Amino acid sequence: MAFISSILFVDIAAQTAILFWGLLIIILLALLAYFIFKRHSSEKFKPKIVTHFIHDSYLASDEFFGILVFDNRKQIKKQYLTDNFGKIWGYNITNTENILVDFESILIPDDKVKFHEAVVELLKGSTHIYEAELSLKSSKDEIKQFMFRLTSLKIDEGDVILHIFSRVMSKEEDKSTFEARLKEMSQILLNSFPWPLFIKNEKQQIVYYNNPFSHAVNQPSNDLHGKSLPDIFPKVDIKEMMQSDQKVFQFSYDIFEKDFTSIEAPLHYLVIKNLITSNTDHERYIMVLLVDICDRIEREEALRQAVRQAEESDQRKSMFLASMSHEIRTPMNSILGMAELLYDTKLDKEQRELVDIINKSGVTLLSIINDILDFSKIKAGFIKIESTDLNLPEIIEEVESMLRFKANEKNIRLSHAIEPSLYQIEMKGDAVRIRQVLINLVNNALKYTLEGEIKILGSIISLNQDCVKCKIEVKDTGIGISESDKDKIFEAFNQSELTDINKFEGTGLGLSISKSLVDMMGGSIGFESELGKGSNFWFILDLPLARKTFSSLTSMIKEPRILLVEDNKTNQQLMGSYLNRMGIYSYDLAIHGKEAIEKAKNEKYDLILMDIQMPQMDGIEAAQHIRRQNQSDNLNANTPILAVTAYSTSADAYRFYKIGMNGMLRKPFLFEEFRQTIEDILGENFFQRKD
């Protein structure tokens, strides 16, 4: 395939010059493509990307080719020199840090000065092409003449590329022979370039293309000359192509990704376009380099597919956890609730202890369940930190009381020591999460303490008019932590790495969850430990002071009319007993959503306690029906509806609020939470505040 010199160039010298400019632009584009692909793809290109298509076999024995890249301090950053460099001069010159200095040293004195000045001007950008017939003294003291062309191109960040081609001249040869060989070398190098390349004029006609381009479009070489892109790619967007060309004419380059659908097959390329201007007739041409990125597109699609699968898997996991949460929490509500009711009956000392163990064991089981669910919710970002009035000493004492039976089982003394002034301070924070962190730390201490004691400490670090900085510590006399394990102590599922999993049971999530929760509350968590001498885990929180303290609603003014919608008989009995303890002895019962709708049509209620998962019709659909009934005769259009459910996330609560419910009571719950929730919803119309 030959160059179309009659279209592009006027004479051989002009053609050769523009070819070398084109070659340099291709080198630049190749480097640019390398950096783009390095950013977009995990598979890095070979560092010597330019050398991929430059082979010594293309050169005659008396020819030399090289590429030098200089930084903005004019120091060589990268270089590529053909193996015969030096050999043709009879010297053992190797790739040194400044090859030009070595080369300059073998020139005759007059040419040495001329060559040095030319390199300086090229690096400064004062000129872009230096061509001369130079002489040097070979190792055999022979004077050799050779033609030498040095071309420069400035690239990003002030870097400069120098492209070198030289040829030793025999007595019979003249400059035209050198130009012809230069043109031939350019053609070989361009056709050896691994990616499709073509040059088009302002009329969109292709005036030059390399072999990879004709192979890419699967058309014979002689069929492409003079064609426009729409002839080759029928579905190409002409308007888009013209807009891109305008960018090239204005800014000298453009780069974008593009799908090309040829007659044979769809192709996807990174398109790199650069402006070429003829030195003779000043005609403008656009050189287009097509870098095949089908592999990258396939990798990206595979990655997107993997992400979709991971998201679907995560969604399935969330659905499974939600379902598991509901299925476990519903019977747990019965276990804990009935144990609480049984505890209030007439029991002897041994029976009361057994019931207490049932209750505490249920709480422990629920804690393990919550560990798994909370870890999933933390990872998904579902947990929100609340701010309500709390009393830190009460939380500490409550946790100690809750876990004392576990300590007693292991003959470990569990106690607390709280700074007296802490009892006098009312503060705001998330009591549930603080309690959860403390439970996790105490459980962790109980797990790894075989004998001795565990002490919970509460103290004040600092106090001002707005905030109190508190520190809670859990000290134990357990097995301690080795230095090698300290860095991973807060990692999830780390137990099997640190200890014998058959000896210490548990989820391995407690400390990881605790760290996440403390971080979410804006605090810090840490520990001190020595192997064989116990550990001291602590966390520090900045908690705002409570400005107002509200008394609870305890005395009933009048008995509210309540509809209890619940299909589980045990839960019916439990909530009925709780209502009786509150002084509410009359309530209606519905065992599914359809029955609830019928009762709501005929009776005005002050509160509807609505279970969510029920046969025939669930609580969500039932609530929607009640809210949609004809407003003129709808007795319960504004009746508060409380969702009583084992669902637990804030997203679930929002879903219930959105369909018209007024609150959510999460299973399992004990009497105080049940009472407080109903009092908060019904308010002062049915209850009065404590004096």
Average pLDDT over residues 679-684: 86
In DSSP terms, which residues pair with 224 in a beta bridge? none
pLDDT at residue 459, rounded to an integer: 92
Determine whether domain 8-193 maps to CATH 1.10.645.10: no
pLDDT tens digits for range 305-334: 888 887 777 767 766 766 666 677 778 888
pLDDT at residue 641, rounded to an integer: 95
d(CA 49, CA 291) in angstroms, rounded, equals: 13
In DSSP terms, which residues pair with 135 in a beta bridge? 145
Is residue 130 within a helix (H) or strand (E), and if so which, with residue range?
strand 129-137
pTM, two decimals, is 0.39
Is residue 36 within a helix (H) or strand (E), and if so which, with residue range?
helix 12-40
Amino acid (1-letter code) at residue 194: P
Determine how many CB atoms are found less than 10 A away from the CB of residue 46. 9
pLDDT at residue 10, rounded to an integer: 33
Residues 6+ apart with CB under 8 A from 352: 343
pLDDT tens digits for range 51-87: 444 555 556 667 777 777 887 777 777 777 776 666 6
DSSP string, 212-252: HHHHHTT--GGGTTT-BHHHHSTT--HHHHHHHHHHHHHHS
Band of residue 488 on the pLDDT scale cut at 50, 70, 90: confident
pLDDT tens digits for range 632-645: 678 888 899 999 98
Query: Is 429 a residue whose pLDDT tops 70?
Result: yes
| Residue 428 near residue 468, CB atoms below 8 Å | no
Angstrom CA distances, 105 to 91, 115, 322, stand at 11, 11, 79
pLDDT at residue 278, rounded to an integer: 62
Residues 6+ apart with CB under 8 A from 469: 460, 461, 462, 463, 540, 541, 542, 543
Question: b or e along 258-286 (b: 16 or more beta carbons within 10 Å of the residue's beta carbon)?
Answer: bebebeeeebbbbbbbbbbebeeeeeebb
- Alpha helices, DSSP H, located in 449-592: 495-498, 510-520, 569-582
pLDDT tens digits for range 96-131: 556 677 777 778 888 888 888 888 888 877 766 777
Query: Is 574 a residue whose pLDDT tops 70?
Result: yes
pLDDT at residue 227, rounded to an integer: 83
d(CA 511, CA 375) in angstroms, rounded, equals: 11
Is residue 295 within a helix (H) or strand (E), and if so which, with residue range?
helix 294-343
Q: Omega of the bond prior to 234 within 30 degrees of 0, cis? A: no
As given in the structure block, the two tokens for residue 530 are 């020595």
d(CA 213, CA 195) in angstroms, rounded, equals: 7
Comparison of pLDDT for 630 and 129, the residue scoring more: 129
Least-confidence region, from 4-18, 234-248, 335-349, 440-454: 4-18
Average pLDDT over residues 374-387: 68
301-380 shares its CATH topology with 388-544: no
pLDDT at residue 38, rounded to an integer: 46
Strand 129-137 to 76-81 pairing: unpaired
CA-based nearest residue to 424, from 393, 446, 466, 381? 393
| Residue 587 near residue 562, CB atoms below 8 Å | yes
The DSSP output letter for 107 is B
Determine how many CB atoms are found less than 10 A away from the CB of residue 580. 11
pLDDT at residue 8, rounded to an integer: 32
pLDDT tens digits for range 158-201: 677 777 777 777 655 666 676 677 667 666 666 666 778 888 88
Average pLDDT over residues 503-508: 51
Average pLDDT over residues 562-577: 92
pLDDT at residue 47, rounded to an integer: 32
Q: Omega of the bond prior to 266 within 30 degrees of 0, cis? A: no
Comparison of pLDDT for 316 and 528, the residue scoring more: 528
| Beta strands, E only, 27-75 | 63-70
Band of residue 623 on the pLDDT scale cut at 50, 70, 90: very high
| Beta strands, E only, 278-356 | 284-292
d(CA 543, CA 523) in angstroms, rounded, equals: 9
Comparison of pLDDT for 263 and 419, the residue scoring more: 419
Query: Is 153 a residue whose pLDDT tops 70?
Result: no
Least-confidence region, from 25-39, 551-565, 610-624: 25-39
CA-based nearest residue to 578, from 352, 342, 341, 356? 341
Query: Is 261 a residue whose pLDDT tops 60?
Result: no
d(CA 240, CA 227) in angstroms, rounded, equals: 18
Radius of gyration (Cα) for the chain, nearest Å? 41
Q: What is the mean pLDDT of the chain?
A: 76
d(CA 181, CA 60) in angstroms, rounded, equals: 10
Task: Please tell me the CATH superfamily of domain 195-292, with its number.
Answer: PAS domain (3.30.450.20)
As given in the structure block, the two tokens for residue 658 are 């959105």
Q: Where are the domains of the chain?
A: 8-193, 195-292, 301-380, 388-544, 553-689
Average pLDDT over residues 5-9: 31
Task: Please tell me the CATH superfamily of domain 388-544, with its number.
Answer: Histidine kinase-like ATPase, C-terminal domain (3.30.565.10)
pLDDT at residue 187, rounded to an integer: 64
Determine whether domain 301-380 maps to CATH 1.20.1440.230: no
Average pLDDT over residues 262-276: 67
Query: Is 562 a residue whose pLDDT tops 80?
Result: yes
pLDDT at residue 594, rounded to an integer: 93
Is residue 145 within a helix (H) or strand (E), and if so which, with residue range?
strand 143-154
pLDDT at residue 124, rounded to an integer: 79
d(CA 245, CA 288) in angstroms, rounded, equals: 10
Which CATH number among 3.40.50.2300, 1.10.260.40, 2.60.40.10, 3.40.50.10170 corresponds to the domain 553-689? 3.40.50.2300
CA-based nearest residue to 28, from 120, 123, 160? 160
| Residue 23 near residue 189, CB atoms below 8 Å | yes
Query: Is 605 a residue whose pLDDT tops 90?
Result: yes
Query: Is 673 a residue whose pLDDT tops 60?
Result: yes
d(CA 523, CA 193) in angstroms, rounded, equals: 60
Query: Is 494 a residue whose pLDDT tops 50?
Result: yes
pLDDT over 90 percentage in the chain: 16
Comparison of pLDDT for 107 and 479, the residue scoring more: 479
- Candidate ranges 258-267, 420-429, 619-628; pick with highest mean pLDDT: 619-628
